[in-house]
């Protein structure tokens, strides 16, 4: 299932984190063999639900992410590709720091590819922890 994030931005449809988390729980329960997930919004609880049910997930792409959800990201022990977008040209701004990247490094041990976009607060120390 794919909902284009640009549709949500252009149509001014804003889903609350609670609704996104409920949808993630339903998705994770119904699709235990989920391999790829792209998400705009959501919370740590929603990600933890998916990580618990979808142990085979290999690719995770998150937009509007910040340090407050990194425990949820770290729960994906088998993720190999991680794309994080913290802020995008005036659409949204979120904070991704070295602390969050270090949390990811401790949980996502199989990570082979990391893409960071709009994560201005992350520096050498966060990248070094992942490396």
Q: What is the pLDDT of residues 52-71, one digit of tens each?
A: 999 999 999 988 877 888 89
For residues 131 and 118, give the distance between their C-alpha atoms in angstroms, rounded to a whole number. 20
For residues 109 and 78, give the distance between their C-alpha atoms in angstroms, rounded to a whole number. 7
pLDDT at residue 51 is higher than 70: yes
Q: Whole-model pTM?
A: 0.79
The answer to whether the beta carbons of residues 100 and 114 sit under 8 Å apart is: no
Q: How confident is the model at residue 78 (pLDDT cuts 50, 70, 90)?
A: very high
pLDDT at residue 120 is higher than 80: no
């Amino acid at each position: 299932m794919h909902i284009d994030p640009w549709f949500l931005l252009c149509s001014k449809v804003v889903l609350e984190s609670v609704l996104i988390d409920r949808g993630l729980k339903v998705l994770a329960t119904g699709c235990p063999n989920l391999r790829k997930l792209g998400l705009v919004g959501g919370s740590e609880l929603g990600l933890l639900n998916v990580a618990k049910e979808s142990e085979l997930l290999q690719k995770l792409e998150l937009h509007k992410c910040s340090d407050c959800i990194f425990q949820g990201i770290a729960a994906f022990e088998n993720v190999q590709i991680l794309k994080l977008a913290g802020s995008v040209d005036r659409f949204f701004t979120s904070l991704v720091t070295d602390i969050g990247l270090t949390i990811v490094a401790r949980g996502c041990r199989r990570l082979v590819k990391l893409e960071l976009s709009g994560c201005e607060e992350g520096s050498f120390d966060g990248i070094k922890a992942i490396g």
